[in-house]
Amino acid sequence: MTDGFFTSYIEVGIDLGNQCQEAVGGAKDAGPHMSTTTNARDLFGIVNAFAETADGKRAEKPSHLLNYFGYSYGTFLGQVFASMFPDRVGNMVLDGVLGLELPLGENFTEFTSNADGVIASFFVYCFEVGSSQCSFYTGSSPLDIYNRFNESFVQLDSQRARAENWANATDIEAALLTLKTTFYYAVASPAQIFNSLSDALVALEQALAIHNVALWTERIVALIGDPTPAGDANAELRLGTLCTDQSNKWYNKTLEDLRPALEHFEEVSIIGEIVSKSMLGCLGWSIEATDVFTGPFGGDTATPILFVGNTYDPISPASE
């Protein structure tokens, strides 16, 4: 992606951050109380309130313990709660566990390349099921199917299009963003997306052949949603937690300050830029949380926690 992709999210984040600072950024407003730590204290309060109800008093298991299932960000919230209140942990399952360095922002580049392993499996499974179930099937191996894809992919060179002032440079960039976003959703939900991904790649091939990628982009955006900042609904909810959990370390930084991290994202995965956009709005988020738990993490919980993961999780894979 070109710098325009990153600056678009940064600029919208600055504007949103200014609006939120004015609306809820005061000491007595909600903004300073959007951290994961505050969320954990809310869970604690909910459990205490339940224990006082009629249902709580006749519960089979101790009603002062939190029974909780969390996935994605919910695993970080679960870890924070368990570390703050280990004696209040009931039946807790954390699925797809985020490493603490990601949400805490000590090193936001701790992103793995497992996402590309999931994408690579598309070509393998497409070959295994054959042309009757995979419209993008071709050749005699998964590599042939990948090479067919790459013939389309290399044509979406947005940086070259900008540098050489191609007439359709804007369309090329929009198509590339849409394709990467489609892959992002496919990585998150391969069982649901792989079949439609096959049809989308056929359609991209056809659009490139008639030199009209804008038509393809319009069609795919109708299915996956707007991948630009305009389609980032409720961004303030994410930023209010993510940015404050990181103690606003990215506030007032510039694109050049982020360049090493962004280059890392681009190197490790074809969808690296799409993952990185979640952090870009933090450059404009000035509201600081009044309460951020920074450890120590871990502890002897009242009930053992069940951690669940798989080796090809794109963000939080299980590893040795």
Q: What residue has token string 């604690």?
A: 44
Task: Assess whether pLDDT exceeds 50 at residue 316.
Answer: yes
Contacts of 251-258 with CB under 8 Å at 24 or more apart are: 251/282, 251/283, 251/284, 251/285, 251/286, 252/283, 252/286, 253/283, 254/283, 255/3, 255/6, 255/7, 255/10, 258/6, 258/283
Strands 305-308 and 89-95: parallel
- pLDDT at res. 102: 58
Task: Assess whether pLDDT exceeds 50 at residue 311.
Answer: yes
Per-residue pLDDT band at 112 (split at 50, 70, 90): low
| Residue 6 CB contacts under 8 Å (≥ 6 apart), including other chains | 255, 258, 262, 273, 276, 277, 280
- pLDDT at res. 232: 87
Task: Assess whether pLDDT exceeds 90 at residue 213.
Answer: yes
Query: b/e string for 241-259 if b means 16 or more Cβ within 10 A?
Result: bbbbbbebebbebeeeebe
Q: What is the mean pLDDT of residues 68-72?
A: 94
Lowest mean pLDDT across 91-95, 146-150, 173-177, 268-272? 268-272
Task: Assess whether pLDDT exceeds 90 at residue 268.
Answer: no
Per-residue pLDDT band at 107 (split at 50, 70, 90): very low
pTM for this one? 0.88
Task: Assess whether pLDDT exceeds 50 at residue 211.
Answer: yes
- pLDDT at res. 119: 92
Q: Quote the CA–CA distance of 44 and 88 in Å, as a whole number.
A: 8
- pLDDT at res. 278: 81
Lowest mean pLDDT across 67-71, 176-180, 295-299? 295-299
| Residue 49 CB contacts under 8 Å (≥ 6 apart), including other chains | none
Q: What is the mean pLDDT of residues 196-203?
A: 96
- pLDDT at res. 120: 93
Task: Assess whether pLDDT exceeds 90 at residue 206.
Answer: yes
Task: Assess whether pLDDT exceeds 50 at residue 106.
Answer: no
Q: What is the mean pLDDT of residues 286-293?
A: 94
Q: What is the mean pLDDT of residues 216-226?
A: 94
Token pair listed for 307: 């951690």
Strands 66-71 and 89-95: parallel
Lowest mean pLDDT across 95-104, 106-115, 183-192, 267-276? 106-115
Token pair listed for 164: 């050489």
What does residue 23 show for φ and ψ, rounded to 5 degrees?
-85, -40
Q: pLDDT, tens digit, for every residue of 5-61?
A: 999 999 999 999 999 999 999 999 999 999 999 999 999 999 999 999 999 999 888
The length of the chain is 320
Query: b/e string for 226-236 if b means 16 or more Cβ within 10 A?
Result: ebbbeebeebb
Give me the chain's average pLDDT, please.
91
**What 3-state DSSP class applies to 115?**
helix
- pLDDT at res. 121: 94
Residue 284 CA to its chain's centroid (Å): 19
Token pair listed for 23: 């609306």
Lowest mean pLDDT across 128-137, 169-178, 183-192? 183-192
Task: Assess whether pLDDT exceeds 90 at residue 314.
Answer: no
Per-residue pLDDT band at 217 (split at 50, 70, 90): very high
Q: Quote the CA–CA distance of 87 and 64 in Å, as a whole number.
A: 9
Per-residue pLDDT band at 186 (split at 50, 70, 90): very high
What does residue 32 show for φ and ψ, rounded to 5 degrees?
-70, 0
Q: pLDDT, tens digit, for every residue of 88-102?
A: 999 999 998 887 765
